[in-house]
């Protein structure tokens, strides 16, 4: 067994979390970069058209991977019992969703007052059924965990049939993205039901890599020849994503000893902060930049990315040192945790 397979062979908990954190860190970093490209494209469409097209091409390894990894945490959460399961999702999904909906609402109200740009956010709709901007991620996850709690217990066959049927129905009624991501969430849940999945993937990494590249190549060829359409929720997209995920897992397992591994794992462990913070910071920079003329915005894009990541890392640093900052992301510190009484010796 070679070094890359050490993690899978030992089934060590810390190692499992590390490769998952690394993969989550990579996916969330790609999300941040993509949104920054989009924000600049909205202001400078001709300059950033090519970067936007490139960013769209790698969409299958962004959000679907994040939902797959979230699904891998489902079984462990269920094992904690219904009470702890519900409190955990309330504290770490629904609570930050509400907090950041309010934050975005206030920021857009301030933008309207200062710049004269319409707010566009209906607070009630954003909180209840139409999440604003990037907050759909937490909205989807809360629903997935609620359904997944019961569906996971029904077994693989029932869950697979339900997920695929739901996807087909959702696709027909323009809810294809919601139902497609749910499939990857449940796939992650059953993939992590035992420790054999990463071990099996690592043991068959060469075959899976060639097979994955072949499937992706055929899909792209079909798209290029006009034989199959592609959108971020259609069947072609889902096939490409399914082929890419094992390769991404192999890459993360292989990269655990690379020098970049601790940095990626750190970003993965703090992915919620990156996801929440990068949007308001990312939106603000192009608004300020357009007030200046006489330069190529493509030249300042690396600085833009650096500033967005630096702001996110700064908030992460503060969160680990301030309970007040932590309250923007979790309700865990709003009330004291119950301590299990220690029996006294007789």
DSSP-derived secondary structure letter, 204: T
Higher pLDDT, 266 or 346: 266
> Percent of the chain beyond pLDDT 70?
89
pLDDT score of 336: 64
pLDDT score of 14: 53
> Percent of the chain beyond pLDDT 90?
54
Task: Please indicate, yes or no, if residue 13 is contained in any of the structural domains.
Answer: yes
Total number of domains constituting the chain: 1
Q: Is the pLDDT of residue 68 over 80?
A: yes
The model's pLDDT over 82-138, given as tens digits with 9 standing for 90+, comes to 999 999 999 999 999 999 999 888 888 887 777 777 777 778 888 888 888 889 999
Task: Please indicate, yes or no, if residue 337 is contained in any of the structural domains.
Answer: no
Q: Is the pLDDT of residue 345 over 70?
A: no
Task: Please indicate, yes or no, if residue 346 is contained in any of the structural domains.
Answer: no
Q: What is the pTM of this model?
A: 0.88
- Long-range contacts of range 324-329, CB-CB < 8 Å, 24 or more positions apart? 327/99, 328/96, 328/99, 328/100, 328/103, 328/276, 329/92, 329/96, 329/99, 329/272, 329/273, 329/276
Q: Is the pLDDT of residue 325 over 90?
A: yes
Task: Please indicate, yes or no, if residue 340 is contained in any of the structural domains.
Answer: no
d(CA 298, CA 295): 9
The model's pLDDT over 34-61, given as tens digits with 9 standing for 90+, comes to 999 999 898 888 888 899 988 888 888 8
pLDDT score of 294: 65
DSSP state letters, 73-125: THHHHHTT-HHHHHHHHIIIIIHHHHHHHHHHHHHHHHHHHHH-------HHH
CB neighbours (10 Å) of residue 90? 12
Q: Domain range holding 238?
A: 3-332
d(CA 76, CA 320): 24
Task: Please indicate, yes or no, if residue 229 is contained in any of the structural domains.
Answer: yes
Task: Please indicate, yes or no, if residue 341 is contained in any of the structural domains.
Answer: no
Task: Please indicate, yes or no, if residue 222 is contained in any of the structural domains.
Answer: yes
Task: Please indicate, yes or no, if residue 338 is contained in any of the structural domains.
Answer: no
d(CA 121, CA 133): 10
């Amino acid at each position: 067994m070679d070094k890359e397979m050490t993690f899978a062979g030992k089934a060590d908990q810390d190692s499992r979390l590390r490769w998952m954190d690394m993969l989550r860190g990579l996916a969330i970093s790609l999300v941040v970069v993509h949104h920054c490209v989009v924000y600049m494209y909205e202001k400078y469409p001709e300059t950033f058209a090519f970067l936007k097209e490139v960013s769209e091409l790698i969409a299958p390894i962004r959000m679907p991977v994040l939902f797959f990894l979230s699904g891998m945490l489902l079984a462990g959460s269920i094992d904690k019992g219904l009470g702890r399961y519900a409190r955990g999702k309330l504290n770490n999904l629904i609570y930050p969703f509400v907090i950041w909906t309010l934050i975005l609402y206030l920021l857009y109200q301030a933008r309207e007052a200062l710049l004269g740009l319409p707010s566009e956010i209906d607070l009630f709709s954003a909180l209840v059924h139409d999440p604003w901007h990037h907050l759909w991620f937490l909205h989807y996850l809360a629903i997935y965990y609620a359904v997944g709690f019961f569906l996971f217990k029904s077994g693989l066959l029932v869950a697979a049939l339900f997920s695929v049927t739901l996807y087909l129905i959702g696709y027909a009624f323009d809810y294809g993205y919601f139902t497609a991501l749910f499939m990857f969430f449940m796939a992650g849940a059953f993939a992590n039901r035992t420790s054999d999945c990463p071990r099996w993937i690592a043991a068959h990494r060469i075959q899976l890599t060639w097979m994955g590249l072949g499937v992706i190549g055929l899909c792209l060829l079909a798209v290029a020849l006009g034989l199959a359409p592609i959108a971020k929720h259609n069947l072609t997209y889902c096939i490409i994503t399914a082929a890419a995920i094992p390769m991404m897992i192999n890459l993360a397992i292989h990269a655990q000893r690379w020098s970049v591994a601790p940095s990626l794992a750190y970003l993965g462990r703090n992915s919620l902060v990156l996801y929440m913070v990068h949007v308001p910071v990312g939106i603000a920079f192009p608004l300020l930049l357009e007030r200046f003329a006489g330069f190529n915005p493509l030249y300042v894009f690396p600085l833009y990315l650096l500033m967005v990541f630096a702001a996110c890392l700064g908030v992460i640093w503060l969160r680990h040192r301030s309970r007040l900052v932590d309250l923007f992301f979790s309700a865990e510190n709003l009330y004291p945790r119950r301590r299990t009484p220690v029996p006294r010796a007789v």
